[in-house]
Amino acid sequence: MKFLLILTSGILFLAATMSSARPLRIAAIPEEPLRYHSKDRVLVGIDVDILAEIFRPAGIKYKIILLHSSESLREFYQKNLCDMVLTLSKNPERERFLEYAEMPHLRVSWNFYARKELAKTMKFTGYEILEGKRLGVTKNFAYTSEFWQHVGSGKFKVVYEDRNREQINNLVNNQVDLVMLNSMTANALIKREKLTNVIAKVEGTVRTGQYFNTFVKNSGYPGIDRVKKVYNEALKKLVDADRYGKILAKY
């Protein structure tokens, strides 16, 4: 019996060692103000602060991996190269590979953006405003099914990019007329790059969506069930507390 107890303890110790053998791998693409490098090359943002508030008190070691594009991100979680993916809206394709947190941590509106002189003349009331325009589209973004139907209609020129940041550049350089962006990211980029006199939001919201942090279903991280439990319970407490509002206000 003593031998069995010692062996059991050894197994438990081995399991604990395995769980701390590598950090939790958390993947995302750079997107202000959610996660990005500051001028001092420090990783900052809303997602970064939320994860620190949740995982550090629980002693969960983690590493945030920033990838070049949403296409790379999709390949990462489909091949189980990460354990979590940050800030995604729900869609059936993603739900094949990802388990969403119990509650969203962000609610974001999507709007069309254009060069200021064009934005002043437009109001979004339907996708007919796209006709005859050059439309910037970021690959593998969810957008809406109606949006993709219009993209495939052939009624306007589509310019594809891997990241929303490139879409902002295309607007500045007058290479596209319209880009649909989430207002949180777009406003942060426009402000940071001092483009308020160049780019503006088109009046009229296209949609508003909830965004969740997610867990890779086939993650090989030891103790991933504990991570999910810690995250879900701590996020609820964080949202109810003043600290959550302060994180949002900070950015």
The per-residue pLDDT for range 75-88, each reduced to its tens digit, is 999 999 999 999 99
CA distance 40 to 6: 50
Is 174 in a helix, a strand, or coil? coil
User: Does residue 7 carry a pLDDT above 60?
Assistant: no
Q: How does residue 155 score in pLDDT terms, banded at 50, 70 and 90?
A: confident
Mean pLDDT of 183-203: 92
User: Does residue 3 carry a pLDDT above 50?
Assistant: no
User: Does residue 2 carry a pLDDT above 70?
Assistant: no
Task: Find out whether the peptide bond into 104 is cis, omega within 30 degrees of 0.
Answer: no
Whether pTM > 0.75 for this model: the answer is yes
pLDDT value, residue 142? 67
Point out which residues pair with 85 in neighbouring strands.
Answer: 27, 214
Between 4 and 207, the more confident residue is 207
Domains by residue range for the chain, with CATH: 23-106+211-250 (3.40.190.10), 107-208 (3.40.190.10)
Nearest Cα residue to 243 out of 58, 110, 70, 49 = 49
CA distance 209 to 57: 30
The per-residue pLDDT for range 10-21, each reduced to its tens digit, is 333 333 434 457
Dihedral sign, CA of 149, 85, 47, 191? negative
Q: Which residues contact 122 (CB under 8 A, 6 or more apart)?
A: 112, 114, 129, 202, 203
The per-residue pLDDT for range 107-142, each reduced to its tens digit, is 999 999 999 999 999 999 998 888 889 999 988 776
Percent of the chain with pLDDT over 90: 68
pLDDT value, residue 17? 39
Low-confidence winner among 29-38, 150-159, 166-175 (lowest mean pLDDT): 150-159
Point out which residues pair with 27 in neighbouring strands.
Answer: 65, 85
pLDDT value, residue 130? 83
Q: Which residues contact 120 (CB under 8 A, 6 or more apart)?
A: 200
pLDDT value, residue 9? 37
